[in-house]
Amino acid sequence: MKSNWKLLALMALLSSVVTLAAYNLLGFNKRDVIFNESSPTPTITGRLAALTGNGPTAAPGDFSTAAEAVTPTVVHIRTTVTRTVRQQQVPDIFRDFFGDDFGGSQGRPRRQQGQASGSGVIISKDGYIVTNNHVVQDADEVEVIMTDKRSFKAKVIGTDPLTDLAVIKVEANNLPAITLGDSDALKLGEWVLAVGYPLDLESTVTAGIVSAKGRGIGILNQNVKQNDPKADTPIEAFIQTDAAINPGNSGGALVNLRGELVGINSAIASATGYYSGYGFAVPVSLVKKVSADLLKYGNVQRGYIGIRPIELNSSVAKEKNAKVGRGIYVDEVVENGAAQAAGLKKGDVIVKMEGQPLDSDAQMREIIGRRRPGDAVTITVNRDGTERDFKVELRNRNGGRDVIKKSDVTASNTALSTLGAEFEELSAQDAKQLGVSGGVRVKKIVDGKLAETDVEEGFIIVKANGKNVKTTKDLQSIMSSVKEGEGLMLIGMYPNSSRMYYYAVPV
């Protein structure tokens, strides 16, 4: 049986965090972002100086200078997560025979608490720390432990599942902050160090080389609602390294020999969940942008080019009758989108972006992911065998160029996310068969408020708090109007029953 290494990577997110469905932006602090950034990329002479020990770092084989500089800036993160667990329902035949005392509590949801461990990197002296989203996602408590053994309670400022990044904050000053480097300047074969807290051990440093860049492995798709055409695509352009990393390294630092942050360690490709030779880190170019957005705006400002892209290879190029065999084929141009306004057309092949040759969809998304609505990118396309440059001004998801506030994004999403379930609207045919004008089906219960009730998957909501529910937008609107401390009354049915069910949901 063939092994799918992407699937293996999905099994091996580096933190032992309990995976939950929804995420919360638990805090917001408007501030201008001031990072401790590196000086411009060194010249060839500077690189040689570094390699020979005459520059700011020691020679390969002696990484002590970089390790000593970086270790104090990498922290240990411990989280407490509470999830709802449903016990297996005992079949009625056993209950009828043994009586209600036999497994009487089974089938009822119960709360279960667990602990997890990861790493983080201090990016500012006043206590801002970057880590992975999956390290702190849905955590009830976040504890940060410094290398000098000091411990702080941390607040989650913002999370971004689409890049698996998060920013947290501890109340402290004069902390050692890491210097942010240049991931674009990384070369294949260049030495790097991974610093973190693997397997709940003390601070650990390992060494390896950059074995690939711009790697997309499909690991972040689990953070996106399946079959949702409106869902954003995760941005994956990982730095691949063979520096040994293990569970607990998540959110830790990948640094160059100058001791500069070039990536945040996020995942490993492994059949066992432990180190098997390949690790993946989010490039610091993306870390800087996402962190700055979370700190300044409270949410990530995403720019959209407005196309449906297809990554070219020889077979796809032949099928699409493209004049070149590599690049991004424009299969569709969104009406009134940025690409259409700039003059791009269906059938164009994007061969360069910002002067960089474009080989993969992951690379394109990473370049765009560094920019905000209103930013312009230079795109080179091959149209009928001739290359042309276009200036494309990125737009927000609403088609504008303005910043979308956190409140605009979370007002509708947060309400439904608290229910901890996936929903789908009834088709007209299903509604007719059930004798209702419309409704919303509970497709999957993952966690959250619905998991605390007796609602089962497949339940069709037709009313909420006395109001008709025909679409998920209706349910969102009703949920958004529920005040803190109030409840939600759901009325609906199951597909094979004409009986109406009433469920009180504590919100």
Helices 472-481 and 406-417, packing angle to 10 deg: 100
Place of tokens 């100086």: 49
pLDDT of residue 226: 41
**Is 164 assigned a catalytic role?**
yes
Global confidence as pTM = 0.69
> Any idea where the domains of the chain sit in the sequence?
5-296, 307-393, 418-506
Catalytic residue among 16, 183, 250, 266: 250
Catalytic residue among 15, 16, 119, 134: 134
pLDDT of residue 347: 94
pLDDT of residue 403: 74
- From residue 463, how far is each of 412, 439, 472, 500, 503 by CA, in Å? 18, 8, 12, 11, 11
pLDDT of residue 50: 39
Strand partners, 272: none
Using left for φ > 0, alpha for ψ between -120 and 50, and beta otherwise, residue 214 falls in left
**Is 76 assigned a catalytic role?**
no
Tens digits of per-residue pLDDT, 11-24?
A: 345 544 333 322 22
The yes-or-no answer to whether 307-393 and 418-506 have a common fold is: yes
How many angstroms separate the CA atoms of 25 and 140, rounded? 13
pLDDT of residue 4: 47
CATH homologous superfamily for the domain 307-393: PDZ domain (2.30.42.10)
What string of DSSP letters covers 163-187? Answer: TTEEEEEES-SS---PEE--GGG--
Catalytic residue among 138, 164, 242, 361: 164
How many angstroms separate the CA atoms of 360 and 214, rounded? 8
Cβ burial of 81 (10 Å; 0-12, 13-18, 19+) is buried
Query: Hey, which CATH number is domain 5-296, 1.10.40.30, 3.40.50.12780, 3.40.140.10, 2.40.10.120?
Result: 2.40.10.120
Among the listed residues 52, 314, 25, 5, the one whose alpha carbon sits nearest the alpha carbon of residue 160: 25
* Number of residues that make up the chain: 507
Helices 284-296 and 361-369, packing angle to 10 deg: 40
Query: Hey, which CATH number is domain 418-506, 1.20.1050.10, 3.30.210.10, 2.40.50.220, 2.30.42.10?
Result: 2.30.42.10
pLDDT of residue 484: 66
Grouped pLDDT means (10 residues each) for the chain, 507 residues: 43 41 33 66 40 42 87 96 61 46 51 86 96 92 96 95 94 95 94 94 94 80 47 80 93 96 90 82 95 91 92 92 92 92 95 92 90 94 94 88 64 65 84 87 84 89 91 84 79 87 86
pLDDT of residue 43: 40
pLDDT of residue 408: 54
